[in-house]
Structure 1
Amino acid sequence: MAPPPPAAAEPNKDHLGIILQRLMALHPKAIDLSLERIRALLAKLGDPHLVLPPVFHVAGSKGKGSTTAFLRAMAEAAGYRVHAYTSPHLVRFNERIRLAGRLIDDEKLIALLEHCERINAGQPITFFEITTAAAYLAFAEIPADLVLLETGLGGVADTTNVIPQPRLTAITPIGIDHVAFLGDTIAKIATAKAGIIKPGVPCVVGPQPDEAMAVIAAQAAACRAPLIRHGREWTVRETTDGMLWRQGEQDIRLPHPALLGEHQIVNAGTAVTCARNLAGFDIPPDAIAHGLRGVDWPARMQRLNKGPLVDILPPGTELWLDGAHNAMAGAALAETLNILPPKPTWLLAGMLNTKDAAGLLRPLAPLMRGARCISIPGEINSLSAEDLAAAARSVGLAAAPAESAEAAMRQIAETIRAEAASAPARVVITGSLYLAGRILAENS
């Protein structure tokens, strides 16, 4: 397999942006779940996905990104060179492709994308498919010890599901999400997610509804794939000074993970289980502990301490950013807020129109004094500010639309000054990772 030629011209962000926009026009649908197009393109590229280092593959409705981030931090702390493919990105597309510990640079990314575009020769292919093909090329070309692949949507027909024999798979908690593509029941969604299970390949399973666990168990039995299940083969619990993970006769006492929230204990435990069951890798407890403390995963209960949006708020007001975008994540965010010191709290929300807005907002409503809702800038599938505000009001949350994040923040700041006087207050921004990315860019 010959590497792609270098970019013909000096790359820049405008050049990369033009390429990405062009690739989005190669298929009339943004999402069209199939493996036929990606396999055809990969064959023309020399099948780079068949010569990768050992692969870890994860699917799930909630927690797969955090689990991947924890596992990457643990493996790197143990001295391994790790490639990673995740989505979506927050600010720059480059965030999706990490090569041996570093984000892919513009020059390399442009060369890969243009090469894939030339080889594809105008054939219909989705944006996610062609950019995933570019990631496989990069992973095959740059030496590493391990590849971490996170599914984009579902599993069985997801573009990442072309790896015939990963070293380990994992399925994080499954809930109702992406119903237009995966089905409207837990069992249907679990069937899609469980499609990453491969013959004979162990699968680590996080906490699951009974309906999901039944589907996963049936798929694993059909594939003769060993299951390592939460609550059976492994457990994790929070302790006064950290967390206790257990599998069989193994007990490992570990520090609290750097990511905030009770659900992150489970995500961290899933990553520990993966680290301890990754055949051929030695990731000892000290590396696991280092990874838990040092993990960096933005927009997961991230405290914003400076920037233009922070400056709008009264002094001492906390500003938090979280990428919650479905009912499960909304419940987890509510649990996390409940463990913080109580303060008057306001919400700034923006969501895609493919998501269950009421489902996300329902658990948050009792914790909020009020909300401002916006459309996500630049997202054609954004729910309108007016419709999101209506969804918020339908679950008992006093809400109004705003024209922008800045306008919403100014309205919230005025309300805080009027209602809370000098009392400390809190603002939470949530609803979408796409919104989180815009917020991080705007507040930088």
Structure 2
Amino acid sequence: MTASETMHYIQSFQKGGKPVHDLSRIRALLEELGNPQDSIRAVHIAGTNGKGSVVAFCAAAATTAGFRTGTLTSPFIRHYTDRIQIDGNDISMDALCRFCEQVKACAVSADCSQFEITFAIALLWFVEEKCDLVILETGIGGLLDATNIIRNPLVCAITSISFDHMAILGDTLSKIAAQKAGIIKPGCPVVLSSDNPMDVTCLVQETALQKRAPLTIPAMTDCQILSETLESTTFQYRNFAYTLHMPGRHQVYNALTAIEVIRFLGMHGFLISAAQIQQAFGKVQVPARTQILQREPLILLDGGHNQAGVSALCDLLKHTGKHPIHGICGMITTKDYHTACNILRETLDTVFCVDDFLPSAVPAEALAACFEGYADAKAAPDFETALREASAMAVQDGGMVVICGSLYLASEALQNDGILSKDNPML
């Protein structure tokens, strides 16, 4: 298969696929492929926000310690292959095509999702490349997510849980948490992020108890924030200091979750020292997670798109941001954009609303109306115009530009040549 044939085949499936009530669909596909999921040693991570960061922290530490480490994340940000990596390197297009051809040769149900196809391809690559460790991020939920076909993970982790994908997962935090907690396996250690509300914590505790799964919740009393800027955050946890270059208090919670996951990995022979963790964490930068794109004028990119994600961004900006703050905001209709705007409008001074990044984007005029009476908002004809005008304002008044509201908008920004900056090594 050629690259275009491969992408056409993958995209011929719906993003979400037909709703599932069990794992029989992915099980049938993987059985035809020889059950590659049974040949890997895995860490399984679920949650609403923070999954990608915890994956990145754990993978960087394992790679630094010399373990060949595969990762599967969702969605892709810059290009399709960046969701499947080994030691931080994307799967090659040649490998993607070759493994996609293997999948296509199976009796694949037309009801499958793009994620299920991608998951199968990733597993085949991880097995062929003899990964020592594979860190899997769930697509949506956990209980009925394709990745939950993994029977005996070494350790599970559940990050921050909040409202998102409610049509699929449920309309209360308890219902959503029940889906996320579905990844907990009998006797398997589980780490729960300490920034979860009490009802979520209680539900996870009950599930872990029922399955006799040892539960760890990092103690914030053992953590001290030493410094916090838009550039980095330094904290101390159990007598060791760590510096993160993904700013925000929420990343500290993610790092603590990762540290505890790594501790359990040590019980399975994956010995990773505190020095290696410190070194690895200092290098982790996940695209579109409060990412600085440019410093003069300051342009910040954030893909947070739900209540918790947007709140974390605003908390960071209130404490460490430059003012005034000129926002470029785009959201999609399947998210609770009204709540997100209610949070953002307390922090942004001006807002340029855009809708040219995705067909399902909220119309720019409708989005601008959500900021009425608070921030000075208007609909922009396109993203490039919004970026140009917001940047000019930041130059004039010494403020900053924040691109926010959607991972899809973040992806558009990262692929826009006009935003490339020599002082951003990630681009």
**Which residues of 2 match residues 82-161 of structure 1 at below 5 A?**
82-121=69-108, 123-161=110-148
- Tell me: CA distance 1:432–1:36, structure 2 relative to 1, closer, same or farther (3 Å): same
Deviations 1:132-159 (A, max 9, x none): 1111111111112110000111000111
* Moved segments of 4+, more than 6 Å: none
Residue 60 of structure 1: how far off its partner (Å): 0.6
SS at match of 1:305: strand
For the pair 1:219 / 2:229, whether they are aligned, the reply is: no
Deviations 1:226-284 (A, max 9, x none): 1001338x843312593222xxxxx2312321111111111111111111121221111
For the pair 1:333 / 2:313, whether they are aligned, the reply is: yes
User: Partner residue of 2:235?
Assistant: 243
> Residue 29 of structure 2 contacts residue 108 of structure 2 at CA under 8 Å; is this kept in 1?
no
User: Partner residue of 1:370?
Assistant: 350
> Residue 99 of structure 1 contacts residue 138 of structure 1 at CA under 8 Å; is this kept in 2?
no
Aligned pair partner of 1:231 in 219, 225, 232: 219
**Which residues of 2 match residues 349-428 of structure 1 at below 5 A?**
349-377=329-357, 379-393=358-372, 396-413=374-391, 416=393, 422-428=396-402
Deviations 1:295-326 (A, max 9, x none): 121111111128xxxxxxxxx32111111111
Q: For residue 119 of structure 2, what is the amino acid of its counterpart? A: T
Count of aligned pairs: 409
> Residue 353 of structure 2 contacts residue 367 of structure 2 at CA under 8 Å; is this kept in 1?
yes
For the pair 1:19 / 2:6, whether they are aligned, the reply is: yes
Q: For residue 400 of structure 1, what is the amino acid of its counterpart? A: K
> Residue 328 of structure 2 contacts residue 401 of structure 2 at CA under 8 Å; is this kept in 1?
yes
For the pair 1:51 / 2:39, whether they are aligned, the reply is: yes
SS at match of 1:58: strand
User: Partner residue of 2:253?
Assistant: 266
Deviations 1:189-209 (A, max 9, x none): 000000000000000010211
Specify every segment of 5 or more residues in structure 2 that has no aligned partner in the other structure, as ranges: 228-232, 421-427
Specify every segment of 5 or more residues in structure 1 that has no aligned partner in the other structure, as ranges: 1-6, 246-250, 307-315
User: Partner residue of 2:52?
Assistant: 65
SS at match of 2:106: helix
> Residue 252 of structure 1 contacts residue 285 of structure 1 at CA under 8 Å; is this kept in 2?
no
**In 2: Cα distance, 1:439 partner to 1:40 partner:** 38
Residue 118 of structure 1: how far off its partner (Å): 2.0
Aligned pair partner of 1:173 in 160, 179, 185: 160
> Residue 139 of structure 2 contacts residue 145 of structure 2 at CA under 8 Å; is this kept in 1?
yes
Deviations 1:66-97 (A, max 9, x none): 11111111111111110000011111111010
- Tell me: CA distance 1:264–1:31, structure 2 relative to 1, closer, same or farther (3 Å): farther
User: Partner residue of 1:74?
Assistant: 61
User: Partner residue of 2:282?
Assistant: 293
TM-score, normalization: structure 2?
Answer: 0.90
Identity among equivalent positions (%) equals 34
Residue 122 of structure 1: how far off its partner (Å): 5.8
Aligned residues: CA RMSD: 2.1
Deviations 1:152-187 (A, max 9, x none): 110001111100010000001111111111011000
- Tell me: CA distance 1:31–1:320, structure 2 relative to 1, closer, same or farther (3 Å): farther
> Residue 32 of structure 1 contacts residue 126 of structure 1 at CA under 8 Å; is this kept in 2?
no
Aligned pair partner of 2:180 in 193, 202, 207: 193
